[in-house]
Amino acid sequence: MITPMWRYVVLPPPKTWRMLLFAGQQETYLNISGRRNLLTTCRRVFASLFTDRAISYRVDKGFTHMDVTLSIGVQKVVRSDLGASGVMFTLDTETGFRDVVFINASYGLGENIVQGAVNPGEFYVFKPTLEKHRPIIRRHLGSKLIKMVYSQVHTAGLSTRNVDVAIEGRNQFAINDEEVLELARYAVAIEKHYQKPMDIEWACDGEIGELFILQARPETVQSQVNALLHETYELKQQGPVLAVGKSVGKRIASGKACVVLDASDMYKVHPGEVLVTDITDPDWEPLMKIAAAIVTNRGGRTCHAAIIARELGIPAIVGCGDATQSIANGTEVTLSCAEGDTGYIYAGQLAFERHEVDLSGLASPKNRIMLNLANPEKAFETSALPVDGVGLARLEFIINNSIRVHLRALLEYDQLQDVKLRNQVASIVAGYPDPRSFMLNAWRKV
């Protein structure tokens, strides 16, 4: 009888809990079955305490090598190869906004989403009204081009492979609204138990249709940020845009682009250069520490490259699609994550400024200070400012950002004659039953 396990989850005891700062520090193994294989793999997990990346991390953080211990969690396999899987945080990973659950979801096993091999769907759920309402405040479809599935079953375990996702699947969300809300409730309960923001992995079993929590660890970047120390970056010039993706962090960096297509060429990256690659995994960590910034073709805001970039305090732009083709090796580039959720890679070294303001010593005026808000992507970030709320919301700009289509084009979609325009609208409303449903959903959020 085959009894495969989903993965090993490394859980250091409380005195070394901070060792979980580095994603992928110890080895994890998928689908181990049989007593002998289980014991052999446990030895490999223990031995992974002394891999290059684990030793390097402990030296950087000042941990004594022989004081570190670990335990191994073993879980039965969840058939997410037939369903979906992902990662969720109990805060916004880019701004530290505490009132949302941020959920990533893609088809198949979770390895692709963690390694950044797939651009997942994204959901934001507003925690304060979760008990009584259905507060999904933002959705992003994600391309979800591939999924990892089991290729065969044998006595040694299950092997895996990646397959293409059909067009129909790409144009649908990997999980429905009910599953999004259920995951958000799980996340809130876990955060309440541990009394701190959490980073959680989950899976949906496609055979039985149930959701499972696979592991949880403390969120270790935004939860440690001093909200009263306000840091901003301002780009002083503009240049040709070479690539666009999801911004990680709010910083700007510039340097010579080093395009690395294979891990065997990692030695070509020098300190201060901008690493441009397809995806990263834990073996890239020593290289990522010397880079000024990171750019990847694939991945979402919870992929390996994004997590490590946050922990290292360097900007990254992930999920660009064609960065390794559109950015020439050796050229000077400027990477900007200071313009909202979308990150831009510009040609040339552009001038920028960094501003830092300590808000802790500012006295409150007698009158109320309110914000003018036009860009919804800035709402989470500006909520941390010492203000009393929003005084003016520029509705026309919010509609442009959130809906992105003229309302008549949505209501009268069937009457559109321009094929190019119809295709543009169709790509925006993908994942919804029809353009009208998309408009109503977006309008509720506005």
Q: Is 257 helix (H, G, I), strand (E, B) or coil?
A: strand
Number of helices (H), then strands (E), in the chain: 13, 21
Residue type, 143: S
The C-alpha atoms of residue 321 and residue 245 are separated, in whole angstroms, by: 8
Three-point CA angle 299, 301, 305, nearest 5°: 60
Nearest to 276 by CA among 330, 342, 339, 348: 330
The C-alpha atoms of residue 247 and residue 344 are separated, in whole angstroms, by: 8
Which residues are bridge partners to 122 per DSSP? 104, 140
How far is residue 29 CA from its own chain's centroid?
A: 22
Nearest to 146 by CA among 172, 119, 168, 173: 119
Q: Is 342 helix (H, G, I), strand (E, B) or coil?
A: strand
Q: Is 323 helix (H, G, I), strand (E, B) or coil?
A: helix
Q: Which residues of 119-156 are buried (b: 16+ CB within 10 A; e: fewer)?
A: bbbbbbbbbeebeeeebbbbbbbbbbbbbbbbeeeeee
Residue type, 210: E
Q: Is 304 a catalytic residue?
A: yes
Contact in structure between 412 and 153 (CB atoms under 8 Å)? no
Residue type, 329: N
Tokens of 376: 């919804």
Structure letter (DSSP) for residue 108? B
User: How is the chain split among helix, strand and coil, in percent rounded to 5?
Assistant: 35, 30, 40
HSE (side-chain half, CA atoms, 13 Å) at 145: 10
Q: Catalytic pick from 65, 140, 193, 304?
A: 304
Q: Give the residue numbers annotated as catalytic, written as ranges.
A: 304
